[in-house]
Structure 1
Amino acid sequence: MIHHLGDWVIEEACRQQVEWRAKGFHQHRLDINVSGRQLVRPDALKSFEDSLQRHGLGPRDIGIELTESVLIEADETVLEDLRRLYHRGFHIAIDDFGTGYSSLSYLKHFPATALKIDGSFIHDAPTQPKDRAIMEGAIFIGHRLGLEVVAEGVENAEQLSLLREMHCDLVQGFFFYRPMPAKEIDRLLGGFVPGHEGPPS
């Protein structure tokens, strides 16, 4: 089922991004989580590229996220496909970093543009020195490798303040927004685009 579901997600993401582009929302990229089981299929990433081409989309419109365990288990064909996407300018994020094998030696081999630190480390970082140290180390390593660093699972102002001190590039989590349907996101995006009606207060 994951192959059918994965194909549907890619198609729906492309369709929705085209709709948002038509409304004038050009500044925001949409990223898709790709399952490891999807990558078992030899043409998985080619199918992803074909979907974007059918919808007239490119690297600035859609990115992908894969967990570190998926990347570690990927065969050379998959890695070559990822390298091709990387060199075409696609955003490729290593998701949930810190929860898989976390072998730092693998990071230099992955064609990635971003590192997403798992929320389990952010949760207790303000009060737990070890979690804080892991956070600082991951951000430092990500930056030294030239990667954008994203903190997942930010739920309160204290966590956000700490991440700012650590110079984390981006954050995401319930402190800002919970998952929402596309129509609500329309109103949200409208608040960032001149000439559009902003979100309600």
Structure 2
Amino acid sequence: MFEFKNVKYKDILDIPWLKIEKGKITTFVGQSGGGKTTVLRLLNKMISPTEGEIFFEGENLGEIDSVQHRRNVTMLSQSAVIFEGSIRDNLTIGMKYQDRSIPPDDILKKLLEQVHLKKELEDPAENLSGGERQRLSLARVLLLDSPVYLLDEPSSALDEGTERLIIEMIVNQVRDKGKTLVMVTHSQRVAREYSDVIVRIQNGSCSEEEK
């Protein structure tokens, strides 16, 4: 699905070759500052390589329309983005940006249940805790139902019990729908338990790990 060829980004990344397979769960691990988030930003076209090329489905990523690409490849940043308004407003804002029909309330409520967010749709989003904001942001990404999810530390603000529930829910959805998931995590347990492929980034270089 994604292929890196002689990719460098400033002095952060130096990846001679890397392939991310379609329909797989690929997890990036490594120390903070090693370049994990930079890889996700490259995949989402938030930044471009300093050198080299990245291909998506065989096409040079630099030649793909960025807006269209982000409809197919949706990214959840580590810092939860919350917009002014209600939980419903925050859930559906991505759909509005893409000029898509807003699902009925029962679908939205079911999504809140899936991410274990016990709130009403009309509740103000600004009152949510850090963990609740992270789950709301995740629900917004899942609602878009993109072929590819890029998740940067999707459970960093959650306790261990909630983390397991949320990661299992994401993984089950990805596998059931044949999607592709690329995830960054600080948790070795999450990486080893749920990934098809683990890639360690250290000092800007990548190496695949045995599970």
Taking structure 1 as the reference length, the TM-score comes to 0.39
Greater fraction of residues in strand: 2
Query: Greater relative contact order: 1 or 2 (C-alpha under 8 angstroms, separation 6 or more)?
Result: 2
